[in-house]
Amino acid sequence: MSFLDNLKETTKNLGGKMAETASDLKEKASDKIEIEKLKMKISSAESDIKSVYTEMGKKLFQSTCRLRPRAYHKTPRRLGEEQLIVAQILKIFQR
């Protein structure tokens, strides 16, 4: 009877371990889902921030055009300088 008792005990332990493993997997899956939701919220917030920076750059560029509209029509060299300034400003916003 000792063999049957050992088999019964082993089966009971195995069932307990399986239930514990299933519970752990459920918890880890739940955590993973929560992490992915947070990542999506972060990505959305970063996208919103980039949109705001883009809009700020556009407004800055437009205000510069209003202040010196003829500077863009004088020479291509002048236009290149202005584009470099705008590019530098956009790099600052992207940091």
Q: What is the pLDDT of residues 42-65, one digit of tens each?
A: 999 999 898 888 888 888 877 776
Q: Model confidence at 39, in pLDDT bands (50, 70, 90)? A: very high
Looking at the chain, list the stretches that DSSP marks H as alpha helix, in order from N- to C-terminal side: 2-67, 71-74, 76-94
**Residue 35: what pLDDT?**
94
- Structure tokens, 79: 């236009």
Amino acid at position 40, single letter: M
Mean model confidence pLDDT for the chain:
78
What pLDDT is recorded for position 26? 92
The span from the CA of 90 to the CA of 56, in Å, is 9
Q: Name the residue with tokens 């919103």.
A: 48
**pLDDT for the residue numbered 30:** 92
